[in-house]
């Protein structure tokens, strides 16, 4: 079924829907990962965005229940060069098209993804509409300009869990607050394992898997949880997750982090990193087209090593706005020299902009989960 993608600047791209009739809108961004499209689809950090895959052949290994990073598809639409409708893989339990259709997400192919990616690199990520309806390009362009801009949107409040849960048997086990006190008695392995409260601003499941693998007991709480509720649980550490949208409007999270800065060892990833930066008095800004993919080079300034990292973010912390008396820069992006990590000089707090849990991506930065555990033990 023929479709048309119309960008807010007036450029259009012909394409074809492989999921049937439909329409989608959002900010168009590109991801350079060669594999892991199911993890990309289910990453909550993509809420509000339509994702272009730069690798040309997508769908060739199908989908399966194990490779998800949340409980649903998060992208607004999926844009590929060529869709493979006959997957071949021993883990496959279905096709990508059926997976998208079951959740009402539009997938399009036969679009010049190289041209679209270069256009985004030159002009920046922008709003767009994709439609199979023959309404004409001018109407779609007009509608694209009416979509809310990503800057100023608090999308973390849209994707966060509404109920706390344990990470148990490789999946969420929701806690009924009416049947369980949310205090220090909540922990099953108190004294045996470090206990961590993880704020969900759009958390990926692989983060929880890796925290569990290093021997940490995790309870996930909504991103809007207050500091007093966390202190009542008396955890050994606090984790601040990734998430979508602009960090500055996430005022509840920023206020809570401010209140907890000197409370427990804290580790932040992606949006969590940005929120710590804001809580420390820094500023954030929107990148031209963001960092999304599994091949971003980051220099660890402490070790001198270069880590190849997985990333998915459109905003960054302005390192010039952080007080270097309190904050030490630990990681820099080697493509554009933007801030990728810092630690507090006095408090047990550190964070990184990239995704050490990857999924998909390399494992160069998984040591950070061990560092978090060590930090809790030292504290």
Determine the Cα–Cα distance for residues 366 and 356; give it in Å rounded to an integer.
5
Residue 94: beta bridge partners?
63
**What pTM was estimated for this model as a whole?**
0.96
Tokens linked to 142: 């007009």
- Residue ranges covered by each domain of the chain: 2-144, 156-378
Determine the Cα–Cα distance for residues 35 and 164; give it in Å rounded to an integer.
32
Query: What pLDDT shows up at residue 321?
Result: 98
The pair phi, psi for residue 314, each rounded to 5°, is -115, -5
Cis-peptide into 125, omega within 30 deg = no
- CB 311 within 8 Å of CB 297: no
Taking residues 256-281, what's their average pLDDT?
Answer: 98
Q: Is the pLDDT of residue 59 over 80?
A: yes
Taking residues 276-286, what's their average pLDDT?
Answer: 98
Determine the Cα–Cα distance for residues 340 and 331; give it in Å rounded to an integer.
5
Indicate the CATH number for domain 156-378: 3.40.50.880
Determine the Cα–Cα distance for residues 235 and 97; give it in Å rounded to an integer.
43
Fold of domain 2-144: Glucose Oxidase; domain 1 (3.50.30)
Task: Read off the pLDDT of residues 4-30 as tens digits, 9 standing for 90 and up.
Answer: 999 999 999 999 999 999 999 999 999
Query: Looking at the annotation, which residues are catalytic?
Result: 270, 355, 357
The pLDDT confidence band at residue 178, using thresholds 50, 70 and 90, is confident
């Amino acid at each position: 079924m023929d479709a048309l993608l119309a960008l807010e600047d007036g450029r259009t791209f012909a394409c074809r829907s492989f999921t049937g009739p439909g329409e989608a809108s959002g900010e168009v961004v590109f991801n350079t990962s060669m594999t892991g499209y199911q993890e990309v689809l289910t990453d909550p950090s993509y809420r509000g965005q339509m994702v272009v895959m730069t690798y040309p052949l997508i769908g060739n290994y199908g989908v399966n229940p194990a490779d998800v990073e949340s409980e649903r598809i998060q992208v607004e639409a999926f844009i590929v060069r060529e869709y493979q409708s006959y997957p071949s893989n021993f883990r496959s339990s279905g096709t990508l098209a059926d997976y998208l259709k079951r959740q009402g997400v539009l997938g399009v192919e036969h679009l010049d993804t190289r041209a679209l990616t270069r256009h985004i690199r030159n002009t920046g990520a922008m709003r767009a509409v994709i439609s199979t309806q023959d309404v004409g390009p001018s109407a779609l362009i007009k509608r694209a300009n009416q979509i809310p801009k990503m800057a100023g949107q608090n999308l973390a409040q849209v994707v966060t869990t509404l109920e706390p849960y344990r990470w148990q048997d490789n999946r969420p086990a929701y806690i009924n607050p009416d049947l369980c006190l949310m205090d220090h008695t909540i922990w099953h392995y108190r004294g045996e394992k470090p206990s961590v409260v993880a704020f969900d601003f759009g958390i990926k499941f692989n983060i929880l898997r890796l925290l569990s693998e290093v021997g940490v007991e995790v309870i996930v709480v909504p991103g809007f949880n207050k500091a007093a509720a966390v202190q009542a649980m008396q955890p050994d550490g606090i984790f601040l997750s990734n998430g979508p949208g602009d960090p500055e409007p996430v005022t509840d999270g920023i206020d809570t982090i401010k209140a907890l800065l000197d409370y427990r060892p804290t580790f932040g990833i992606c949006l969590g990193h940005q929120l710590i930066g804001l809580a420390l008095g820094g500023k954030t800004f929107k990148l031209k087209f963001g960092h999304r993919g599994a091949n971003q080079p980051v220099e660890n300034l402490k070790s001198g090593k270069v880590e190849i990292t997985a990333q998915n973010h459109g905003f960054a912390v302005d390192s010039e706005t952080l007080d270097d008396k309190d904050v030490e820069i630990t990681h820099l992006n080697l493509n554009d020299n933007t801030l990728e990590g810092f630690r507090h000089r006095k408090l047990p707090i550190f964070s990184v902009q990239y995704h050490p849990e990857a999924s998909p991506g390399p494992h160069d930065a998984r040591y950070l989960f061990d560092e978090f555990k060590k930090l809790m033990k030292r504290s």
